[in-house]
Amino acid sequence: MGTSVQVTPLSGAYGEGPLCYLLAVDGFRFLLDCGWTDLCDPSHLQPLARVAPTIDAVLLSHADIMHLGALPYAMKHLGLSAPVYATEPVFRLGILTLYDFFLSRWQVSDFDMFTLDDIDAAFQNVVRLKYSQNHILNDKGEGIVIAPHVSGHDLGGTIWKITKDGEDVVYAVDFNHRKERHLNGTVLGSFVRPAVLITDAYNALNNHVYKRQQDQDFIDALVKVLTSGGSVLLPVDTAGRVLEILLILEQYWAQRHLIYPIYFLTNVSTSTVDYVKSFLEWMNDSIAKSFEHTRDNAFLLKSVTLIINKGELEKLGDAPKVVLSSMASLEVGFSHDIFVDMANEAKNLVLFTEKGQFGTLARMLQVDPPPKAVKVTMSKRIPLVGDELKAYEEEQEWIKKEEVLKASLNKEEEMKASLGSNTKASDPMVIDASTSRKPTNAGSQFGRNVDIFIDGFVPPSTSVAPMFPFFENTSEWDDFGEVINPEDYMMKQEEMDNTLMLGAGDGMDSKLDEGSARLLLDSTPSKVISNELTVQVKCSLAYMDFEGRSDGRSVKSVIAHVAPLKLVLVHGSAEATEHLKMHCSKNSDLHVYAPQIEETIDVTSDLCAYKVQLSEKLMSNVLSKKLGEHEIAWVDAEVGKADDKLTLLPPSSPPAAHKSVLVGDLKLADFKQFLANKGLQVEFAGGALRCGEYITLRKIGDASQKGSTGSQQIVIEGPLCEDYYKIRELLYSQFYLL
């Protein structure tokens, strides 16, 4: 039977909710993305909570909240402990996205879903892979190979290919076939007949305009507002699609010699751009070549100012400006506050570059027609003063005393339990935990201070006084003095990972942005005050699609080209999902599935595959030939059993002779260049390769099988002359003869 494959959506099916899916391959359970929304509703994670402890590996595809926002919460509260796999940009930018998310929440609420330490812990052991790098799983996942490939949606965005026993399961959501200013298009079209393709129907009903026209309309809309004295707010994500928008603004501001200021405002804006500057190898070819030739980094932004404090904007007052700020949902963050400031001025513009999440303020403003007034909650964190501060300090002191007392009682119970029956000798000596004293230098002779405890100590019946532990210094010495162990001075791997996570080692400061770090390190007791107000929406509202996803027409074309055996549709509105399902179902050879949330579907391949062993007796007579990184050979064998396992054994009778086989995949364009280098005159004519005056090469075969090579052949036509034999010999040299 084929490789067993089951898919279960945990979120993001028949809807535009966060992406999170369970994929089981022969019992090995993958979690495909672990998304959340800006609303942080734990009830949305109930399906994940039911399976989180059973997950064997997590695959992250993109570095935004919709794809990885719930990862720290799941690891802290839901029992998720599986290793996580991602590309380097998704790893780095994902951390910054969650930092910004946490800081935006913490500044306006007592956010306790997770902390910065929980974010660091979630990304502590992430395995970072390069594009097209095959990673072989071990133990329970033995035989499974995973590999990330270019998705084209954002920096480091990934299409995951999971391979088992020669069958491919491809997870491709939010891909983009179009090349952009800093990204190459997806490589999904190069995949050939995967057993299962899991993709989204998000844009199935949408068709894009030409990109150049879209960029032009975008800039024209901004300039129109700026020249009339207004300002523009662009609610954006932290480190995803905003990078493309920054490059668009940078390019057009230079071309048109515009002087209006542009600000990129998030809690981690400077760290984000600093990281991105070092990820040129993950971007498109033109950016890499430009850097090689001129050392000009595309993200050395000249027209954009990076800020991490809203106070910088307040200095400008009502001066025309463009502000890109997080969060895109307008629920929290700088964008929320700036919207409230700008909404009551008709000359201003709020331009959305992505569709708002359901239930958020951004989505409410994007409906047609938008509301003329909205209720918002304004919150801010202020330090405690007066009686509130005194009450807080008393409460903290009481909590500390309770913890000390509890620790003392616990230790006493442990000592009593360990002493067991010996406690009958006498009552233990107890020292009040509140009378603890600082250790003296008496312990320094052992290389460190040693606290002396007599809590629960019972003197032996033969002793005359309590006996205290003595630590003997057993250091080794040689002719040069005390022997030094180099391992004592080496930084532990965990410490290195923590340091790298904060930027050290990448040429960056080992901290967050200065303002964010100051906010976190400030231990002054504080509280959050809130008030509700009604905002009159007088400013202009607009939406332009810069989400970087393939449109409906392109998605249908890519699916038809890849031609999977089975197709699973996720993440899209009910209308879009049903539309794409109906379209793909017209192909009678394609099995299309669109499961509901927590509905498990079995997409096991219909192909029959068996595992067999190669006996030593058979392999001793096999002659292998080198084929690139592999070795190939022709084998004649009979199937038998050895140790209750299928085994290939030598044939009982001499096998019939087989014809010679030429192994390889020849492209006529490459062969044309090869013949030209040999001094032959070659040209294409009518789809065939004309070699010299008499010889013609053409490739024939069954072209009706999409995504398959079929039974293609290369035919040599022409008279038997010297050129014929010479070209045939050169043609044979392009193959491996078996």
One domain for residues 169 and 235? no
One domain for residues 64 and 183? yes
Give phi and psi for 330, each to the nearest 5: 65, 10
Whether omega before 327 lies within 30 degrees of 0, making that bond cis, reads yes
How many whole angstroms separate alpha carbon 738 and alpha carbon 622?
12
Strand order, beta sheet including 540-543: 304-307, 262-265, 322-325, 232-235, 349-352, 540-543
One domain for residues 551 and 536? no
pLDDT for the residue numbered 429: 43
Contact 544, 354 (CB under 8 A): no
Of the ranges 363-367, 403-407, 440-444, 455-459, which is most confident?
363-367
The residue type at 353: T
Render pLDDT for 575-612 as a digit per residue (tens, 0 to 9).
Answer: 999 999 999 998 767 899 999 999 999 998 776 667 78
Radius of gyration in angstroms for the set of CA atoms belonging to the chain, rounded to a whole number: 33
What confidence category does residue 499 fall into, taking pLDDT thresholds of 50, 70 and 90? very low
* CATH at residue 80: 3.60.15.10
One domain for residues 290 and 197? no
* Higher-pLDDT residue of 321, 487: 321
How many whole angstroms separate alpha carbon 471 and alpha carbon 454?
16
What confidence category does residue 511 fall into, taking pLDDT thresholds of 50, 70 and 90? very low
690 DSSP β-pair partners: 683, 696
For residue 507, pLDDT over 70 is answered with no
- 697 Cβ neighbours under 8 A, 6+ residues apart: 668, 671, 688, 689, 691, 714, 715, 716, 717, 727, 731
One domain for residues 590 and 640? no
In the chain, the number of structural domains is: 4
In this structure, is residue 586 part of a structural domain?
Answer: yes
In this structure, is residue 236 part of a structural domain?
Answer: yes
pLDDT for the residue numbered 461: 62
One domain for residues 194 and 119? yes
CB-CB neighbours of 538 under 10 Å: 14
One domain for residues 325 and 239? yes
Of the ranges 216-230, 601-615, 652-666, 710-724, which is most confident?
216-230
Contact 450, 440 (CB under 8 A): no
In this structure, is residue 128 part of a structural domain?
Answer: yes
For residue 731, pLDDT over 80 is answered with yes
In this structure, is residue 721 part of a structural domain?
Answer: yes
Residues of the chain with pLDDT > 70, as a percent, come to 85
One domain for residues 689 and 561? no
In this structure, is residue 421 part of a structural domain?
Answer: no
One domain for residues 585 and 700? no
Give phi and psi for 250, each to the nearest 5: -60, -45
In this structure, is residue 731 part of a structural domain?
Answer: yes
* CATH at residue 674: 3.30.310
Q: Out of 164-168, 438-442, 594-598, which region has the weakest mean confidence (pLDDT)?
A: 438-442
pLDDT for the residue numbered 352: 96
Q: What mean pLDDT is predicted for residues 437-453?
A: 44
Contact 506, 500 (CB under 8 A): yes
Q: Out of 63-67, 75-79, 702-706, 713-717, which region has the weakest mean confidence (pLDDT)?
A: 702-706
For residue 556, pLDDT over 70 is answered with yes
* CATH at residue 330: 3.40.50.10890
Which SS3 state, helix, strand or coil, does residue 141 take?
helix
How many whole angstroms separate alpha carbon 269 and alpha carbon 273?
6
One domain for residues 556 and 532? no
Whether omega before 564 lies within 30 degrees of 0, making that bond cis, reads no
Contact 659, 627 (CB under 8 A): no
715 DSSP β-pair partners: 698
pLDDT for the residue numbered 288: 81
One domain for residues 60 and 191? yes
Domain that holds residue 16: 5-207+545-602
Q: What mean pLDDT is predicted for residues 140-155?
A: 94
Average pLDDT, the chain: 84
- Paired sense of beta strands 688-691 and 682-685, if any: antiparallel
Q: What mean pLDDT is predicted for residues 139-167?
A: 93
Q: Using alpha carbons only, what angle is made at residue 119 by residues 117 and 123, rounded to the nearest 5 degrees?
A: 115
Render pLDDT for 170-218 as a digit per residue (tens, 0 to 9).
Answer: 999 999 999 999 999 999 988 988 999 999 999 999 888 888 899 999 9
One domain for residues 189 and 147? yes
What confidence category does residue 426 fall into, taking pLDDT thresholds of 50, 70 and 90? very low
In this structure, is residue 309 part of a structural domain?
Answer: yes
Render pLDDT for 665-707 as a digit per residue (tens, 0 to 9).
Answer: 777 877 888 888 888 888 887 778 888 778 888 877 654 444 4
In this structure, is residue 629 part of a structural domain?
Answer: yes
